[in-house]
Structure 1
Amino acid sequence: MLAEKCLSPVSHNTNDGERRLGNIESRKRSEAIRHMLEKTSFRISGSGNISIGEMRVTISGAGSYEAGELRISGSGKARGHLRLRALSVSGRFLGDNISAHTIKTSGSARFSGDMEVSDLKSHGSLIVVGNIRGHNVRVAGNVRARSISAGYVEIKGSLRTEEDVECDRFILRMIGASRVGGTIRGRSEVDIRREKEKSLSIRVLGIELIGISRRGERVVLEAKRIEGRRVYIEYTVCDEVIGDEVIIGPECEVRRGIYYASNLSIDPSSKVLGLKIRKSTPLP
């Protein structure tokens, strides 16, 4: 029994030491990869395959990589987790997971995993099978994702998510039908309007890669719940609206109810099927 009691703490300390050594080695490997990527550079004109650390990139057209910035004009495909300072694509791109400070796409881009980005600008079609996590998200065209979490979200075109959209400010200018499978939560503001333009086309290198048109289509946003300190919606179908100041614009349908703290306005063309309840406390 004495031997067992003496051996137990030694084994525990040994495991802690091994974990610390493992963490140190992992940090060293990450630093080595980062330094290697910063020193790596290449240029491609035509087509080629290149390796950047654990990443594998195929380019057809023109491409360059320098100091963590990957630029592609034409088409590109990446395997593995892309870890970059910046990605700029003009054309078509296929990727898995991506983490970058800046992402700019013009054309069509599809990622089979998650996207972590500080500043995202997309012109065209953007599909992220996983989640988009960022600071600023700006899209002109189509965007599809499992969920979006950001500080600022501005979309002109159409939006489709399976789950929630959470941000400080949410601005949507609809040209195509949109759907959010969960809640739209804009902590300070939610502003949803139907764009006056009836179509939007994105051309890259003289080729039209995406066109959005609402001719013959009922363009509305469908969502379960919409929350924000200030809320303005139009052409929207949802279950609930929660806010301090709520304006229900034209052609809306609220199925369960509206909860507001200070002001409520409802356009005559809109339908509120549930209750209109004034809350005693505003949103935090």
Structure 2
Amino acid sequence: MKGNVEAESIKIFGEADIEGHVTLKDLNLRGAVHIKERLVGGHIHGYGELKIENDCEADSISLKGAVAIGRTLNAEKVSLYLHFEDSRIEEIGGEVIRVTKSKAFNVINFLKRFRHDSAKLVAESIEGDDIYLEYTKAKVVRGKEVTIGPGCEIDLVEYQTSFQQDEKAIVIDSKKV
């Protein structure tokens, strides 16, 4: 699609390329979408691949798969279930942020467990009130309550209320602020 898209609801089953801005209340993804500009929406959910070259702003985002956002993801609730390839988001901001590895089981996922390059989220900064991260590589994580789970590599954690770290996570420095 060339130009901007404005809609109440969009369901993508397959693949879509949008060369402008997207404004909507509901995006149901079952496949792949590439947005050249920015996405502003209410609820973004589904599985597959979401690529946005600029910013993404939403009430909530719940995706299983891979996400690439060139700049900022800002949503009240962020739930990312990492699956099949690395996700990259420059900055994430939200109230509740959950990044976990997909629990889906099939033969391909079982075999991928033996590879050293299983899916991770790579981000510069993650900021929120309640944060739980797995398999995330970030320079800075800031929050009220922060839990760093397995597979994480974090340079700095700044927290207000509580901080927990899994024994299989690497955190270079942490500070209560």
Normalised by the size of structure 2, how large is the TM-score?
0.91
Which SS does the other structure have where 1:130 is aligned? coil
Distance in 2 of aligned mates of 1:247 and 1:155: 20
The residue that corresponds to 2:127 in the other structure is 227
Taking structure 1 as reference, are residues 232 and 250 closer, same or farther at Cα in structure 2, changes over 3 Å only?
same
Q: What SS is found at the alignment partner of 2:45?
A: strand
Counterpart AA for 2:43: N
Distance in 1 between the 2:72 and 2:57 partners? 8
Deviations, residues 151-191 of structure 1 (Å, cap 9, x unaligned): 101111010111010010000001031111x21111x2000
Instruction: Pick the structure with more helix per residue.
Output: 1
Corresponding position of 1:12: none
Which of 139, 155, 175 is the equivalent residue of 2:83? 175
> Hey, which bits of structure 1, 4+ residues long, moved more than 2 A?
212-218
Deviation of 1:213 (Å): 9.9
Change (3 A) 1:258 1:131: same
| Aligned match of 2:68 | 160
CA distance in 2, matches of 1:157, 1:271: 24
> Hey, what's the Cα distance between the residues in 1 that align with 2:44 and 2:122?
20
Asked if the contact 1:175/1:198 (under 8 Å) is kept, the reply is: no
Shift of 1:139: 2.9
2:141 counterpart residue number: 241
Aligned residue pairs total: 171
Q: Name the structure 2 match of 1:277.
A: 175
**Residue in structure 1 matched with residue 21 of structure 2 by the alignment:** 114
> Sequence identity of aligned pairs in percent?
25
Structure 1 gap ranges (5+)? 1-93, 200-211, 280-284
Q: CA RMSD in A?
A: 1.9
Amino acid at match of 1:267: D
2:49 corresponds to which of 142, 151, 159: 142
Following the alignment from structure 1 to structure 2, what is the Cα–Cα distance between the partners of residues 267 and 213? 23
The aligned residue for residue 266 of structure 1 is 165
Greater gyration radius? 1
**Greater length-normalized contact order (CA 8 Å, ≥ 6 residues apart):** 2
Distance 1:214 1:235, change over 3 A: farther
CA distance in 1, matches of 2:105, 2:152: 19
TM alignment of 1:1-284, pairs within 5 A: 94-146=1-53, 147-176=55-84, 177-180=86-89, 182-186=90-94, 188-197=95-104, 215=112, 216=115, 217-255=117-155, 257-273=156-172, 275-279=173-177
Using the TM superposition, give the Cα deviation of residue 220 of structure 1 relative to its aligned residue in structure 2, in angstroms: 0.6
Q: Calculate the TM-score normalised by the size of structure 1.
A: 0.57
Larger strand share, 1 or 2? 2
Aligned partners of 1:140 and 1:155 also within 8 Å = yes
Cα separation, 1, equivalents of 2:105 and 2:126 = 25
Kindly indicate whether the alpha-carbon contact (under 8 Å) linking 1:103 and 1:119 is maintained by their aligned counterparts in 2: yes
How far the C-alpha of 1:218 sits from its partner, in A, is 2.3
- For residues 158 and 2 of structure 2, the distance between their equivalents in structure 1, rounded to whole angstroms, comes to 42
